[in-house]
Structure formats: C-alpha cells, structure tokens
Amino acid sequence: MGTLQNLSTRHPIWTLIVVVLVVGFAWLILAPWPPGLEQAMGRKRVFLNAILSGITLGALYFLVASGFTLVFGLMRNVNLAHGSLYLLGGYIGYGVVEVTGYWLLAFPVVFIVVGALGLLLQHQVFRRMEGEELRQTLVTIGISIVLADLMLWYWGGQSYQVLSPSWLSGPMTLPLISSLRSNGEAVYLSYPQVRIAILAAAIVIGFAMWFVLNRSRLGMLIRAGVDDRDILAASGVKIQYVFLAVFAFGAGMAGMAGIIGGTFQSLSPGEDTRFLLASLVVVIVGGMGSIPGAALGAVIIGLAEQIGLVYAPTYSVVFTFLIMAVVLAFRPQGLLGAQR
Amino acid sequence: MADVMPTTAPGKLILLERIPPPVWVIGLVLLVMPAFASNFVLYQIFGWSFILGMIALSLMVLAGYGGMVSLIQMTVGALAGYVVAILGTSGVTDISLGWPWWLHIPIAILIATLFGTLVGTLAVRTEGIYTIMITLAIAAAFFYFTRQNYGIFNGYTGFNNVIPPRLFGIDWRQSVPFYYLTLGCAALSYGAVVWMARTPFGLALQGVRDNPRRMSALGFSVTAHRIAAYAFASVIAAVGGILLVWQNAQVVPGTAGIPQVIDILVIAVVGGLRRPIGPFIGAIIYTVLSVFSSDILHAFGMSGERFKLVIGLGFLAVVFFSPDGVLGLWEKYKARRDENRDPLLGGGR
C-alpha cells in the first residue's frame, strides 16, 4: 500500500476530503437516520434501496462492459454489436430456462453459443480488416442492425423475463438498519435475494478476471498485447489465438450478462442499444481497456442512474451522460485509463 | 442556385465551364422532374432524399474532409426542428411561442449550430473511434432528455402540426413547392461544401485530416479547424433538420432516436464519404429501399417488415466490399476500364 501512502502525503487535502466523504457515506448507510435527515431526504429505506439497486445495476453493467473493454484494450476494436450479443444471450438463456427449467444450465449454454458466435465474428470479420478501425466499427454497426432485426423476427416485439430459480426468489434480510421502531427496536432492510446473488457473482467474476489477467500466462500475454501488440507478435506468440480467446470470452460474458439482465429486468428489442450505450458510457468513464476502470465506471453509472431515478426522476438519464461529459472534459482517457 | 444543380461555386461563372456535361443533364432532369414525376415521388422520395442527403452531407464534411466520424448530426438537425416548433407555431399551443418565421428560423439554425459546435468542442478532444462513441452517447442523451422533458420539449409526444410558413402565398408543403424548396436547399449546401473544400480553410482542414502533427508544426491550430468544421457542418444539418420536421409536420424524440442517428451514418457510408455527392446517392438508395422495401421483400416471398434486414445487409455488403461506398465502386469500375485501355491509342486492347 505504498502508493496509497504516497498519494496521501502528496495530496493531503484531497485525501482528507475523500476520507470525510467515505466516512459520511458509510454513516448514511449504517446508522439509523435522525428524524431531521429523514425529513430532508425522505425515508432511509428508499435511500438504501436506491444505493443497492445502483450497485447491483452496476454489477450488471460491469459484466456487460468488462468484455467490451477487454476486447477494445487488446484489439483496439470497438465492437458496436456488443449490445446485440447481450440481447441474444438473454433470449437464448430464456429459451434454455423455458425448455429445461434449470436457471444455472442457461449460463454455460449461452456462454458457449454466444462465445462461438464471437469466435466466428473475430475469425471471419475482424481478422480481415485488422487495423482499419473505422471499417470495423461500421461493420459492427451493420452486424448489430442485422442481428437486431433477426432477433425481432424470431422472438417478436414482446418482452420476456427469465424466471429466477426458487432458491433465489424472494427477499433476504440484510444487516443494514432501515429504520427504528418506536420502542427502539431496529428494522433491518430486506432485499431481493437474486440481486444480491448477482452482485456476489459479479464480484467473484471480477476478481477471477483480475486474477487471470495478473497471475496467469494467458493474462500475461493479454497484458503484453494491450501494451504492444506488434512486439508480442514479433516475439513468436500466436497472437491471433489470443485475440480469438479474448473475443470469445468477451462475447460469452455479454451473453451471460443477458441472462442476468433478463432475470432482474426484462428482454425486449431496444435493450441491445441500451446496454451498448451503457457499456460505452461505463468504459468511457472508467477508462478504455481497464478492468478495474470498468468496475469503477459501472458502479458510478449504476448509482447515478438509480439515485437519479429516486431523487430526480425526470433527469436521471441525463445524469449519466453529464458524468461522462465531465470525465471527458477533465480526464479524456477515463478515470483509470492509461495515458496514451 | 437551383438552376445549376448540382455543382456550382457561388459567384464564379468561370467555374461553370468546368462542370462536366453529365452534371448539366442531371441538373436539368432534376429541375423538370415535376413535369413527369408523381406527387408521391416528388415529396416522399426526392424531398426526403434531399433532406437526408443534407444531413448526411454534414457528416460527410466532418468525416471526409475532417476525418471525424460524428454521429451527432441527426441530433443537431432535430434540435433545430425542435427550436422551430418551440419558437414558431405548432399544435402544442401552450409551449409554442408563435414568433414570425424570419425570427425563429435563424434562431433555430443558430442554436443548433451552437449545440453542434459545443459537442464538437467536446468530441475533438478525442480521436477516431472515440469520437464515434462520444457523439453516439451524446445523441442518446439528447434522445432520452427530450423524451423525459415535458416543460420545453413536450416529452414523448413532441410537437405536431409544425408546418412551413406561407411565404409568397405558396403552401410549401404541397409536393411541387416542397420539392423545389428541398432541391434548392440541397443544391445550396452542396455548393457550399464544394466551395468550402477549395477555400484555404477547407484545404487546411484536409491537411489536418491527413497529418495533424505536420499541420500544427506549420502553425495551424488543429483544434480550431476541427471545431470550425463542426460549426460549418452543423449549419447544414440544422437546415436539413428544419426541412425534415416540416416534411413530417412533427418533431418527436424519435426524430433523432438511435436508429435514425445510425441511419445517417449508413446513408453517408453507402453513398461514399469521399465526395459531397455521395450522401445524396446514399440517401436516394435509402429512401427508395425504405419506400419500396415491402414490395421488394414480397417479391422475394418475405414479409414486408424485414426492411431493416435489407438495409443492414446492404450496408454490410457495401462496407465489406467497398469501404468508399457506391461511389467507390464506380471509381473502381472506371479504374479497371482505364487499365484495359491502351494508353496511346485509346479504346480496348
């Protein structure tokens, strides 16, 4: 933690402000609110719900955006069909759950199917136009138009919801005080179990990705490829295989995120662009090509969206884009992006 | 300027001699079109093509001359349309202010241009694909904002009954006047772009596209040229947007929804981003396909709803085989024909 110490000695005032903010935020979440505060900001339960929904939504955004940012970081390839892969994964997952009745089974099936589609895309489309960024972008736009219409054709315009399994449905009680009864007894917050499970899964997946990237040979290759693709290729690594693996993984992640999105929200035409935009904003805010950046950006955007939805419903969508504009104006490479 | 459509530089008669004969023919055909084309063709196909072509032309200016693919142009146009509806007259009487046309139209163009320039200022901080993503995200923000804001933009329903003013006693929404109005505006903006590309500014802009570092070493401000290009393109997009709103007589959030924003890119790319005529070719292909798609699809035994599929596949094919669009195909064909010709004697070998 030497870097943290460095940071705090270099910017003592900023560090103090951040610490005060973090402590104040922790107090807002953990302590029962005094009546004056409840009057000013509404019930604590509403606030806690907004925070938790924001974080769980951030978890979903992270799952979608992590593949996007990884693909971009390695191949400098903006896959604007990423949202379509998300929606396709959701639809296929819905079908699997409907047919077999096993929610968990949908994940490997979707990962394999959408991942295979990703392999196909990388092998047949992107390899042919390596280095032509604009052309790749245009092709992915074309693919997303075609995929969107094919999905509309097959699944129609209605919205679907993936049924969560019985062992995940229903609420669970969290060790967070939502209010105090008149006799001083604390009332604890209850929250949908499935969302907490998804949050936990996203954290596990995030750490697993971090581990693979930083501690394994494949991760070493990927990081080397992000830094300098040409030198890596020149040193004898079959970089096309690394590309294929990363693209398939990113596509598979987007597909699995589709099942999760279909479970706690719904699947309908138009969700593909919504999640494409969400991933765009998340990676712009967090920094292109950075997994921790995607996590940070996802949580910020998720929180901004949900808190905005509760406290300023008309302009909640605008908040996210405002954050993006501010980040762009002051730190164009994103919060955790590398300076290029 | 309509009589010398589609190539002219305002005020330079000498240039007229350099215009090749096919252009004269096309201009003449476009001018006498109302004599033999039906009202539907004039209004729905040509009127719409000219409008979409103008908005795509503003993208072509940025992408072709400036090297910046901006997806904000449709939004700039829609904003101009919104301002016309808000300041002028519309069916929503409690929001519309009912100002006269000579006031609200210039203000609409001005506001939309300011907006486009502002977005440009933000977007030029980034390069290449980042520009696409940022402008796409801002366009999405505008769409959601207009859909949720009821005080100014009247939310989901938008404004209906936004019609052009009755100037010179002509109802400009009739097919023939509207055809000439859009033709005139399209010709003017085409001429303006051709002229701009030859001015010192236009040449410097193309220099910035090709090598920003060298241009900045020569003392040109790269950022200023790029932002100025956004401002110039925004004016064209704003005029196109106002015409589009008049044609539909309404402006709603969906006027600049994500699919519409993407459509402008599709039109410009399919036509070709290298030359100003490309967007208009793309627009005509797009409108013909969208108007007759159900008939075409029925002919192949498919349902008429699959229009987007046709557009998407066509777009994919163009991007795959000819990154320079239909114009690129034409140039390839010409190059091949010239290759086969004997350089001394002419004719085939």
User: What CATH code would you report for B34-340?
Assistant: 1.10.3470
* Cβ pair B144:A317 closer than 8 A: yes
Residue B285 has pLDDT above 50, yes or no: yes
Residue B335 has pLDDT above 50, yes or no: yes
- Tell me which of A87 and B344 has the higher pLDDT: A87
Residue B336 has pLDDT above 50, yes or no: yes
Among all residues of chain B, which has the CA nearest to that of A280? B133
* Cβ pair A145:B136 closer than 8 A: no
* Cβ pair A149:B145 closer than 8 A: no
Model ipTM value: 0.72
pLDDT at A8: 67
* Cβ pair B128:A134 closer than 8 A: yes
* Cβ-based contacts of A153 with chain B (< 8 Å): 305-306, 309
Lowest mean pLDDT among B46-60, B182-196, B244-258: B244-258
Q: What is the dihedral of CA B193, B195, B196, B201, to 10 degrees?
A: 170
* B349's tokens: 């070998």
Spell out the residues 6+ positions from residue B329 whose beta carbon is closer than 8 angstroms to its own: B321, B322
pLDDT at B114: 92
Largest separation between any pair of C-alpha atoms in chain A: 73
pLDDT at A1: 45
Among all residues of chain B, which has the CA nearest to that of A309? B148
Mean pLDDT of B292-296: 74
Splitting chain A (340 residues) into consecutive groups of 10 residues, what average pLDDT does each group show? 62 80 76 67 74 87 87 77 90 88 85 91 80 78 87 84 76 69 69 82 87 85 79 83 86 90 83 85 83 88 85 74 79 71
Among all residues of chain A, which has the CA nearest to that of B319? A139
Lowest mean pLDDT among A108-112, B47-51, B275-279, B308-312: B308-312
Residue B310 CB coordination number (10 Å): 18
* Cβ-based contacts of B126 with chain A (< 8 Å): 328, 332
Amino acid at site A13:
I
**Shortest alpha-carbon distance between residue A146 and chain B (Å):** 5
Helices (H), chain B: 13-17, 21-36, 39-40, 48-60, 73-87, 101-123, 129-148, 175-198, 200-210, 212-217, 222-248, 258-271, 277-299, 307-321, 325-340
Among all residues of chain A, which has the CA nearest to that of B258? A273
Residue B181 has pLDDT above 80, yes or no: yes
Do A228 and A88 meet the contact criterion of CB atoms below 8 Å apart?
Answer: no
Nearest CB partner across the interface for B137, out of A142, A315, A321: A321
Residue B63 has pLDDT above 80, yes or no: yes
**Shortest alpha-carbon distance between residue B129 and chain A (Å):** 7
Work out the pLDDT band at B17, boundaries 50, 70, 90: low
- Tell me which of B44 and A276 has the higher pLDDT: A276
Work out the pLDDT band at B349, boundaries 50, 70, 90: very low
Task: Determine contact: B308 vs chain A, CB below 8 A.
Answer: yes
Lowest mean pLDDT among A12-21, B88-97, B241-250: B88-97
Which domains are seen in chain A, by residue range?
A: 45-330 (1.10.3470)
pLDDT at A178: 65
Residue B13 has pLDDT above 60, yes or no: no
Residue B1 has pLDDT above 50, yes or no: no
pLDDT at B135: 85
